[in-house]
Amino acid sequence: MIQYHNSSGFDSLRQRGPDRLLECKVLAQEKTGPQKAAKKPAPRKALPQKALDDVTPARTLSIAYIAALGFIAILTIASHIITAHITNKQKEGADIAFKIGAQRAGIHEIIQSADKYYTLGDPLDLGFLKQAIAKMEQGQRYLTDTIRQNDLFGHPVSAELQKIYFQQPYALDEKTTWFLTWAKELATLPKSEQARRTIAADYVMNKLPSTLATGLDLALQNYQTEALAKTDRYYAMQYYGALFVLLVLVLEAVFIFRPLVARVEGYHQMLLRYALEDYLTGLNNRRAFMKRATTELRRAQREGSEVVVVLSDLDKFKSVNDTYGHKVGDLVLQHYAEQLQTLLRSGDIIGRIGGEEFAILLPRTSAEMGFQTIDRLREKIARLPCPYVDADGKPQVLPYSSSFGMVAVCNSAEGIDALLARADEGLYEAKARGRNCVVQVPGNAESAAPANQPATLGQIEAQIGLQG
């Protein structure tokens, strides 16, 4: 049996026009004194656009993150450059060491060939001598050209080699040139100029070789020591560069990446909340309500507990928007949502699923308890008008009411859509019976709820505070 509770007298009072309402208010003020306007509810916090629009922290973090990445990239590139430089230096050092060693061997080869040619005069020995001279000249050109070069910073390739090759007391380049000059003269002088040939042979085989060999040995030793010291410095630069990159990565993770992730997560949670929250009232939107209600129905089915599903609608809300404007209409919706949150339990699920349509799910609630709870809610809302400020800046109050359709089930396999459709039948019946009432449609968990009689005009006036 469909049960309902209405306040038809309230609607009839409103239908009689503003004159009757004003008359009732005057009578009430004469008996009880001026009526104080109800305390304006705290407006719901607007969407934190500042959090979305204030991009300075995010921009700072982004700039710092990009700067850190750029710095790491620079260090990484520098490390690769240093590695390539070390490789080139090692190759260059190997070539120089090889050429110096070849010069050392070339001296002995020239001495042996010159000795045989000077003693025997064999043309074959002459050929070997000329070949050794050309080979040593080629090595000399390579060494002098390489030693004279500077690196990218204007530093000499080897300060030690420049000192030994071009400065006294060694002047290895000059002495090598003399040695090769005397060797070529010995190879070109005819036998008829024996005296000149003897002088040339003496320089090539006796006077210059020991000095050249000592200078080349010293050059090789000093250059290898210098090259090893430079290589150690390059490796140290790589090592400290790698440590610095690791330090930057740690600082980036702690002071940039972690706050950035936290901010992104915060925005994600905020957007997720906005996706599941009604922007005006702060209640669950339709999607969130349906999801939470489905979860609760499954739990109730597992436990075999009772559940009450309610659908409510603000009476004649279109006329509120048409008469007072949408701004006041929004205030009424917010006021109604606040009353629902205040008067219902924290575990009850409330959602705004339409313009002025709200859905409620009362878990672990019997049919009788649910009817009583919703009926008390209806009465409370009818007694608490919505405060607002009119166009003249004066505080006003706007009475309003709501109708409810409800269904109670226990251990039911029906989904939330089906239960809302059945509650909507009760809401439709409540509208047909004059609004401002609760109508319970048959379910599988009804208990005998008392049938309420329509309220009289005096009772309605007393409920909304128009009579003492």
- The three-point CA angle 426-427-428 to 5° equals 90
Q: What is the side-by-side strand order in the sheet with 357-363?
A: 3-5, 438-440, 402-410, 306-314, 357-363, 349-352
Cα(234)–Cα(82) distance, integer angstroms: 7
Superfamily of domain 3-43+281-463: Reverse transcriptase/Diguanylate cyclase domain (3.30.70.270)
Tokens of 139: 């090595």
Mean pLDDT of 221-242: 84
Cα(440)–Cα(427) distance, integer angstroms: 9
Could you tell me the residue ranges of all domains in the chain? 3-43+281-463, 56-249
Q: 416: closest CA among 284, 287, 302, 280? A: 287
Cα(166)–Cα(170) distance, integer angstroms: 8
pLDDT tens for 198-216 read 999 999 989 888 888 888 9
Q: Is-contact 213 107, C-beta < 8 A?
A: yes
Is the per-residue pLDDT at 75 higher than 70? yes
Q: Is-contact 126 271, C-beta < 8 A?
A: no
pLDDT at residue 305, rounded to an integer: 93
Is the per-residue pLDDT at 263 higher than 60? yes
Query: What residue has token string 């906005």?
Result: 274
Is the per-residue pLDDT at 70 higher than 70? yes
Mean pLDDT of 298-315: 95
Query: Which positions ≥6 away from 401 have C-beta within 8 Å?
Result: 7, 10, 11, 314, 315, 378, 381, 382, 435, 436
Is the per-residue pLDDT at 276 higher than 50? yes
- pLDDT higher for 68 or 223? 223
Secondary structure class of 347 (helix, strand, coil):
coil
Cα(248)–Cα(79) distance, integer angstroms: 15
Annotate 182-238 with DSSP letters as a single string. Answer: HHHHHHHS-TT-HHHHHHHHHIIIIITHHHHHHHHHHHHHHHHHHHHHHHHHHHHHH
pLDDT at residue 233, rounded to an integer: 83
Q: 463: closest CA among 343, 376, 342, 339? A: 376
Tokens of 260: 């950035």
Q: 367: closest CA among 440, 438, 465? A: 440
Mean pLDDT of 57-75: 77
pLDDT at residue 432, rounded to an integer: 95
pLDDT at residue 440, rounded to an integer: 95
- Provide CATH code, domain 56-249: 1.20.120.1730
Q: 219: closest CA among 139, 151, 135, 143? A: 143
Is the per-residue pLDDT at 127 higher than 50? yes
Average pLDDT, the chain: 81
pLDDT at residue 235, rounded to an integer: 83
Is the per-residue pLDDT at 367 higher than 50? yes
Q: Is-contact 454 13, C-beta < 8 A?
A: no
Tokens of 98: 């090889």
Cα(171)–Cα(190) distance, integer angstroms: 31
pLDDT tens for 417-443 read 999 999 999 999 999 999 999 999 998
Query: What residue has token string 């949150």?
Result: 341
Indicate if the alpha-carbon torsion angle 260, 265, 270, 275 is positive or negative.
positive
In angstroms, what CA-CA distances link 173 with 50, 216, 254, 409, 462?
Answer: 77, 10, 59, 109, 122
pLDDT tens for 380-402 read 999 999 999 998 999 999 999 99
- The three-point CA angle 418-424-429 to 5° equals 140
Enzyme catalytic residues: 356
**Residue 84's pLDDT band (boundaries 50, 70, 90)?**
confident
Annotate 1-46 with DSSP letters as a single string. Answer: --EEE--HHHHHHHHT-HHHHHHHHHHHHHHH-SPPPPPPPPPPPP
**Residue 66's pLDDT band (boundaries 50, 70, 90)?**
confident
- pLDDT higher for 137 or 244? 137
Indicate if the alpha-carbon torsion angle 160, 163, 169, 174 is positive or negative.
positive
Q: Which amino acid is at 386?
A: C
Q: 426: closest CA among 411, 445, 412, 442? A: 442
Q: Which of 39-48, 122-131, 222-231 has the highest mean pLDDT?
A: 122-131
Mean pLDDT of 293-308: 94
Q: Which of 78-92, 250-264, 371-385, 431-445 has the highest mean pLDDT?
A: 371-385
Strand partners, 392: none
Say which DSSP state 90 is in: H
Q: Is-contact 178 202, C-beta < 8 A?
A: no
